[in-house]
Structures are given as structure tokens and as C-alpha cells.
Amino acid sequence: MRKSIHITVNGLVQGIGFRPFVYGLAQSMHIVGQVQNDWQGVSILATGETTALQKFTDALLQHPPPLADITNCEVREIPLTEMSDFLIKPSTKGTQLNALLTPDFAICENCKSEIHDQNNRRFGYAFTTCVHCGPRWSITQQFPFDREHTTADDFSMCPLCRNEYEDPANSRFHSQTNSCPDCGISWQLFDNQGNTLPIAQKNIFTEIAKKLSAHNVCAVKNNSGFLLCCRADDANTIVKLRTRKQRPEKPLAVLFKDLETLKQSFQLSADEIKILESPARPIVLLSAKDYKGNLPLHTIAPGLRQIGVMLPTTGILELLAAAVDFPLIATSGNIHGSPILSQNQEALSQLSDVADFFLCHNLEIIHPQDDSVVKFTKTSQKPLLLRRARGYAPNYLKPFKNTVDKPMALGADLKNSIAFIPNTYAYVSAYLGNLENYEVYKRFSQTIDNYAAVFNTKPTVLLTDKHPSYNSNRHAKTLAKMWSIPKVEIQHHKAHFAAILGEHQLFDERVLGVVFDGTGFGDDRQIWGGEFFSYENQNIERIHHLEYFDWLAGDKMAKEPRLSLLSLSKDNVDCKTGSKFTPAEYNFYKSMKRPNNLKTSSVGRLFDAVAALLDLTDYNTFEGQAAMMLENLIVEANLKNYVNYLDHAQDAFSGSYILQFACNELNRGVPKPQIAANFIFTLANYILDFAGASGYQKIAFSGGVFQNTILVDFLRTLAPNHVALFFHEAVPPNDENIALGQLMYHLHINRKL
């Protein structure tokens, strides 16, 4: 019996070869009909024998294309509709986009093979892509995802490319980004004065390799923005890049040409290899404990024994890495603190004092993105997403029920991202940066406008952090007035807690929330950061926190760990503190403590204090430096016995007590790695003891402190079997998750903000 069905497929189904897959499946099963993208996902009309249609539907759901993520599929019978063939139809537009946006995908093995094959017409062509790889979100202007909705449409396909695009037997059948050297994207090489260097297209990577070999810094336009590249095997060249970029100590990422080369220098776990070769292909932080190469690690990542590594994500980086015989520094193309650049003239203007040469192409990038960053915990080998950008953004894969309103969340100021629910999905932007930087603020504002335009939807409510001085809050106030919609403020740490509750769908549970970070404006107008929350029945209540201590010198405290040490110092610790200040400074800052009405419960600042006590650093040249150095100290230690500094603290969660105990151990000659490990062991024990005493069997963690892999591993190891622990997986634990948390709070928690 013949019949017709209509199938609607939702999720990540556009820009990943889903329509060609459906076409091939239909042809193999003698089914006629059509498939097309629309604003809901993919729409399929299929006519055939009942048995064949069932097999067709089963195969569609059980064996979709590798990059697909189907969140919903609806099948309904329709009146018999006979057609002569199965067709891929042009996309249809609607008024309301309700499909996942397609992130950029790393170059696949087939395309990689082609650009290295001298007999292939795409030999040496850096923009070789297919249905399984290439730029997507970075070049998207509107949806559905078709060539005419991307900047690839600026390049008309030649007859050979057009034949590939229209041939069902070809791997580039309906590949929207298809191009070749004859019809595609072209290069230009400039010096830092803006002069064009006359280099043939086929020689462009040979020439840039010569420049890099000669110890020059080169700005290379990748598919998602500029990268600053130089030799990773020469300390002087790296120092030159650091000086010019004003990035004195923050770690730099290293690009290796392939996995085999990387394996010669580092020991890799199976999980690390898997994610390094995944379609997202993030930067992965690797331990340098058993490093066997010759790179100057102390210059690449000063004071750390871990290195961020990456494999080529695009044909551009594949050809660049293959053209040189050394690994490359590959760091964001920007002035330190500003967003990554993507426009040629903008890069030539802003980076002329940083780069010696500029390798630019003429594919326009609409959505520039940094590389994502992942680190695995040492013991449990669990991934921690530290920066969510290229390869992951802008989707958040879990669908949501339709809401009455369409909330847009503007996040926090540090590590900003925004989030929007215009339909049944939440869309969380890529990492944007620190809104104190004017250029980041501009991109933040542009991203908000862009999201409203892409979805053809104006938010009905704006969600923002409670901090009155945050630029995100101020901008929300302006937008709320302009759009005539309400602005709702949500406390920073409650947003953190709501983010982890939402990620693991815990809104029907009784959960202890532990939120540790550096700074957040509290409900009592103090600086929070060491918080315990209770969640039950759509209500969040703050039930405990790190004992308050003095917040000194405003924002300066987050930049100078010595100030946190001074604030927490009592008795025996004072003698360790005084040497870190001039007499005048010491007296001045001590006077600020008498009296000081502004207090903090920040565990992030407690980490700073311990790092300063152990003489790891007194000044942070980048956010989180002291905590990273403290964690790094432990990674290399062979530790068997740990001490809980709060064993005899009479239930007090006191930073001063912890610091005093650590100082006593330091005076007794206990090794610094042991003290650092004892400190983190103490935090893990306190959390679990508090949960046990309070009767919680589910604990959810959020906040930047839980980027510490040692703390995460201690918690996983020490937790009783009956206690379930929940950590972030889809978004970072740091302030990047605030926007998602604001959405979750708005949807699920009581409105008593």
C-alpha cells in the first residue's frame, strides 16, 4: 500500500549535509517526494510503500549524518501525493526561526586529503569544504542555511563546482560553501605599512612560511577571525609578540601540524585525542609534566606546566602548519583585552604595531569568534569547558517549552556572553570578553542587535546582573527604554546556580548549590563569592557563605593577590605580608581595614591570598592567574597525605583560619605543593561535610573556582556514593554561564528577585 507522510525534523539539521543524506536515503528505498530547509529545521514529503516509509523514517532517526543533532521529529500521514522523483527543493522562509544555528566545523579528512594531493584540482586551496566541514555561523547572514544567506554567495560557482553541487553522487552535493581555486576566495599579502606584496596565489603559503621562519610575527585571517602567529620554538620571537601585544604572561596557544607530531612531545589520553580531532576542535590544555619537545614552555606559559595546544581547524591552518617545520604560536588577533578582529582594513590598522605581515583573504566574516578552550581533570578525565566559542556557539542544544515571553539575557561584565530564547531553543553567544573594554562593549551591543535581527524577534524582557555599575546593566536600561520592555535584575550567584540547575534539569529536585568565584554584587550589597544556596520548590535561598573579610582598594584587589593576603592576615600571617608592601603602602592599606564597611565572601580572593602567601605571585597580569599558578603547583607534586585545615574550626568557614593554618605549615617547612593541595582538599571536605550535615544528596557547582581541576577531582573522589555531584558540561563554570543562568532563573525560579 502506498501512502504519503510529512516529516518535520528539528535540531541541528541545517548546514551539515542533512538534505543530501535524506535524498540518498529516499533514492535507495524507491521513495519519491521532496526535502527542504525551512525556518523550523528540515521538512520532508515522502511517498512510497508503507514498509519502505517505515524503514526510511527509522534510518532517518537512528543513523543521521554524523554532525546532526535531532531534538524532535514529527511524522504525520497526509493525502497521497505522487511525484516522479525525489527532489531537494529551495528553502522556504517563515516569520519565526525555530532551528538550531550551525556552528563552524573543522576540516574533515577528505577535504584535508584533497588539499595535499597534487593531482587534485583543489591542491593547495585553503577554502576547500564539503557538507561535513567548513565555516557556518561565522559567515551566516540569515537563515535558513543556504548559500545565498551566507557571504560565500559573493563567489559564483564555476561549472565544475556547480556540477558537484548538483550531482547526487558527489560528496559536495548541495554543499553550500563549495568553491575551488578557479571561482573561490583569494589571498593578499601585506606588510605592516599596508603595501601589497605581489605573490601568486599558489605560492602564498610558501611565502608566509618564509616570513615566519625569519622570526616575523604574522597576522593570518582564519575562517573565524585573525590569528597572530610566530615561531613557537624561539623564545625571543615569542617575547617580541608578547611585548607588542601587551600580553606579558598570559599563556599562548600552540598549533601543531598533526596529531602524530603532537604525540612526539606530549602524552595524550584517549579523551584528549578525541576532542582534539572532533568537529569543534578546541584548544586543549595539556600537562607538560612529561613534555619531550624543545619549545620554550617558560615563555609560552610563564609559571605554568600546562600548554594549550590545537590542531588545524581549517584548510588555512592545515596549509600554514604544513608549510613550516616548527609549531606555531596561534593566538587571537587583537590588542590584549579587545575582541578578535575579522575585517582586513581593521586588522591592518589596529595590528600594524604588532604584526610584521598580514595574510588576508576576501571572504567576509560576519560573526568573528575566538577558539574554544577545554581542559580535562587529571584523575577522572572529565572535560571542563573553559571558553565556549568556535565550534560550540551559538547553540544550546536542549529545547525549551514555548514561553509566554521571549527573554534576552545580557550576562555579566567579565567573560560576557548573551543568551536569547526567541522560540523553543536557547541560543547562547560565543565568549565576547570583558565589557570594561570599549571594543568588547561595542561587539556586545552589535551581538544583541544581530540576534534580534537573525530571529526577526524583539525580546519582550531583558535580564541582567544586579550590579548597578555593570555596563551590561546600563545597556539593558537603555535598551529597555528604547524597546519599551521591562528590565529584570538577577543576583549574580543565583544566576550561576540557576545555570547549573538548568543544564542538568534539576528544577524538580532538592539541591545544594555551591557557587565559588571572584566577585559578584550580593543582595546585601556586599561582594559575594563563596556561597551555599538551597534550592527546592522553585526557590533559591542563601544559607551559608565564607566568612566576610575586608574588600580593599576596589577593583585593585582582584589584580593584586597581596591585597587579599593582607585583608585575611591575622597574627602570624602579618609577618609574611609586610614584605610585599612598602612601609607607606602597608600602613595605608592597613588603615583601610579600620573600619571598612565593604566586605567580601570571595573564595576567588582566598585563592589569591594563598598564592601570595606561597610567593607564587603578588600581581595578576591576567584574570585568574594566581589560581592557575596554585593549581599548577599541585599538578607536579607526588602527594599521598592531605590535611584538612578546618578540622578544628568549630564549623566556621573562615578564610583567615585557613590562611593561619597554611602559614603555620609554611613556617614548619611543609613543601608549598603540599600546602596548596591541603588548601584545596580543605575546601572539598568542607563542601561535602556541609552537604552531609544539611542532608543534601545532590550538589551542583558553578563559578570560576570550579575551573580548578584539582578541586573537581577531590570532590569526585571524596564524595560518598549516595551523593550526586553536578558540574558544568555544556557551558563554562565561569561568568560565561551567567546569561544562561539568567534565562533559567527567569523561567524556573520564583520572581522574588
Residue 375, H or E segment = strand 373-376
65 and 35 Cβ atoms separated by less than 8 Å: no
- The residue assigned the cell 590535611 is 643
Q: Which of 247, 436, 237 is nearest to 335 (CA)?
A: 247
The CA distance from 230 to 238, in Å, is: 7
- Residue 329's nearest CA partner among 217, 404, 416 is 217
Task: For residue 220, give every residue at least 6 positions away whose Cβ sits within 8 Å of its Cβ, in sequence order, or none.
Answer: 208, 226, 227, 228, 229, 316, 320, 333, 359
Known catalytic residue at 195: no
Site of grid cell 580543605: 682
Q: Specify whether 471 is catalytic.
A: no
Q: What is the DSSP string of 206-269?
A: HHHHHHHHTT--EEEEETTEEEEEEESS-HHHHHHHHHHHT-SSS--EEE-S-HHHHHTT----
> Can you point out the beta strands (E) in 50-170?
69-78, 86-88
Report CA-CA distances (Å) from 305 to 405, 451, 714: 48, 40, 20
CA distance 291 to 558: 32
Pairing status of strand 724-726 against strand 698-702? parallel
Catalytic residue selected from 10, 37, 423, 434 = 37
**Which one is catalytic: 10, 19, 172, 605?**
19
Q: Please, which residues have CB within 8 angstroms of residue 114's CB and are 6 or more apart in sequence?
A: 120, 122, 123, 128
Residues 6 or more apart from 385 whose CB is under 8 A from it? 372, 373, 374, 392, 728, 729, 730, 731, 732
Q: How many CB atoms lie within 10 A of CB 621?
A: 14
Q: Of 420, 368, 425, nearest to 401 (Cα)? A: 425
> In the numeric block, which cell numbers belong to residue 608?
589569591
Residues involved in catalysis: 19, 37
